[in-house]
Amino acid sequence: MKHVYALAAMLLAFFAFSTGAFAQTYTAVRDGNWNDPSAGGPWDPSGIPSSTCLNCTITINSGVTVTLNAHVTLTGVSTFFIGSNGSAPAKLLIPASGGSDFATSFNLILSSAGADLAQLKLLYANTSVDASAATTRDGVFSFSNSGILKKEIGTAPWQVFGADGSTQLTGTIQGGSVLTGPTTINGLGTLPVVLMNFTAVAENGVVALNWATAQESNSDHFSVERSTDNGSHWQILGNVAAQGYSSSQVNYSFSDQSPVSGVNQYRLLAVDRDGKSGYSIIKVVRTNLISGVSVYPNPAKDYVNVSIGTETTSGASIRLINQAGQTLAQRKLSGAAGTTVSLPVSSYPQGNYLIVVTGADGSQQTSKVFISRQ
C-alpha cells in the first residue's frame, strides 16, 4: 500500500510539474516595453513571456500600457487578455520596427495548433490595440492551420503571407490600425484564397492571364482588372467564378483580347461570399513592342533592307515569306532598336513576298516587298 501511495505522489508531482511547464501565466502590472529585462519591465515576478508561448495566459491589467517591441507567437490554447482586473483603459501599443521579416519585426502572431485556439481578447470597450505606427510585418496576425498568415491589426498595405513568409495577396483585407474592445481575434481565421503563380504573357496580340489557388474558403469570384495609365485608373475586364472551397490547387485563366499598345498593368481582385476582398500583386505587360519598321529598296533585286525603329523595346525576329506561306529566310535579334538587317534575295524568283517582324510579345508588323528580275 505504501508503494501505491508513493507512486501516486510521484504521478501527482509529475503532473504538477508538467502542467506548470506547459501552462504558464504572465501579467503586466505597470507601463513599459514588452522586452525590457531591467527590473522585469512591465511584468510581475513571473517573468517575460517567451517569444513562442505554448498554452500561455498573458494579461495586461487595466490602466497599463505595454509597448510590443518584440516578435511573439502564441500557440496552442494560449489567450492574451487586455483590460483585466478592472475597467480602466489598457493598451497594447505596437510601434514601427523597420524589420525586413517577421522575426525582426514587432508583432503578435496567433497560431492555431490542431483543434487548439490561440486568442487575443479585449475585455472592455475602452481597451485597445494600437498599431497605427506599424509597418508591413508589424501588428497582430492570425495564422491558420492552412498556412495563411493574415494581418488583423496594422496599417496598409494589408497583406497575406504564406507559411514561408512570402507575400501571397495584397489589398483591403482586414482590420485597421486600431482595434478597441470588447472583441476577440483567434488563430483560425482564413481569407478567401491563397493565391499563387499569377502570370500575364502577351502572344499574338492577346494577353493570357493564368493563376492558381493553393486553398479556397468561401471564395466567390475573381475580378480581372487592367490599368493603362500606370495604376491611376483600373477597368474591370471580366469576372471568373471561383471554386468556393478547396484544399488543393485550382487553376484559372482569362484572356485580354484587346490590350492597348504600350504598357498594360493587370491585377486580380479576389472576392469571397461575405464581401471581403483582396488584391493580387500587379503584373506588367508591354504590347506592340515593334515600331517604325521600314523595308527598302522596294522593288528589291539583290537584297532588301529591314530597318527597325528606335522605340522598339525588345528583341525581334525577321522573316521573309513567299506567297505559299513558306519562310525562306529568318534572322533573330536580341536588341532590335535602331537595327537595320540586310537579307539577300538574288536567288528568289520574281514576285511578291512578305517581310514579317515579330516582337517578344507576339506583336507583328508585316510589309510587302516585290522582288524583281528586270
279 in the same domain as 260: yes
Kindly state whether residue 166 falls inside one of the protein's structural domains.
Answer: yes
Kindly state whether residue 12 falls inside one of the protein's structural domains.
Answer: no
User: What does the pLDDT read at residue 170?
Assistant: 61
314 in the same domain as 246: no
The model's pTM: 0.52
Residues of the chain with pLDDT below 50 are 1-21, 172-173
Considering 259, 287, 315, which residue would you say is the last residue of a domain?
Answer: 287
262 in the same domain as 214: yes
Kindly state whether residue 210 falls inside one of the protein's structural domains.
Answer: yes
Kindly state whether residue 128 falls inside one of the protein's structural domains.
Answer: yes
User: What does the pLDDT read at residue 18?
Assistant: 37
200 in the same domain as 69: no
282 in the same domain as 206: yes
Kindly state whether residue 74 falls inside one of the protein's structural domains.
Answer: yes
Q: Any idea what the CATH number is for the domain that residue 270 is in? A: 2.60.40.10
CA 133 vs CA 181, 186, 189, 239: distances in Å: 19, 23, 24, 36
What residues make up the domain containing 228? 193-287
Nearest to 321 by CA among 365, 369, 359, 259: 369
User: What does the pLDDT read at residue 248?
Assistant: 79
**Is the bond preceding 192 in cis, omega lying within 30 degrees of 0?**
no
310 in the same domain as 180: no
Based on the structure, what is the number of domains in the chain?
Answer: 3
**Is the bond preceding 89 in cis, omega lying within 30 degrees of 0?**
no
What distance in Å separates the CA atoms of residue 225 and residue 308, rounded to the nearest whole number? Answer: 32
What distance in Å separates the CA atoms of residue 281 and residue 195, rounded to the nearest whole number? Answer: 10
The per-residue b/e assignment along 295-314, b for 16 or more CB within 10 angstroms, e otherwise, is: beeeebeeebebebeeebbb
207 in the same domain as 278: yes
What distance in Å separates the CA atoms of residue 290 and residue 310, rounded to the nearest whole number? Answer: 9
What distance in Å separates the CA atoms of residue 314 and residue 336, rounded to the nearest whole number? Answer: 6
Answer for the pair 247, 217: CB distance below 8 angstroms, yes or no: no
Kindly state whether residue 34 falls inside one of the protein's structural domains.
Answer: yes
172 in the same domain as 38: yes
User: What does the pLDDT read at residue 129?
Assistant: 95
Strands 91-93 vs 128-130: parallel, antiparallel or unpaired: parallel
What distance in Å separates the CA atoms of residue 347 and residue 326, rounded to the nearest whole number? Answer: 15
What distance in Å separates the CA atoms of residue 293 and residue 305, rounded to the nearest whole number? Answer: 10
Residue with cell 522575426: 103
The amino acid that residue 208 corresponds to is: A
Answer for the pair 318, 341: CB distance below 8 angstroms, yes or no: yes
Kindly state whether residue 11 falls inside one of the protein's structural domains.
Answer: no
- Residues 6+ away with beta carbon under 8 Å from 340: 305, 306, 307, 308
Answer for the pair 233, 288: CB distance below 8 angstroms, yes or no: no
In the sheet with 351-359, reading across from the earlier edge strand, the strands are: 327-333, 316-321, 351-359, 364-371
Considering 287, 316, 336, which residue would you say is the last residue of a domain?
Answer: 287
Q: Any idea what the CATH number is for the domain that residue 344 is in? A: 2.60.40.1930
Nearest to 280 by CA among 172, 170, 161, 165: 170
User: What does the pLDDT read at residue 300?
Assistant: 94
Considering 252, 287, 322, which residue would you say is the last residue of a domain?
Answer: 287
Strands 79-84 vs 119-122: parallel, antiparallel or unpaired: parallel
94 in the same domain as 132: yes
Kindly state whether residue 121 falls inside one of the protein's structural domains.
Answer: yes
91 in the same domain as 156: yes
38 in the same domain as 179: yes
User: What does the pLDDT read at residue 58?
Assistant: 95
134 in the same domain as 81: yes
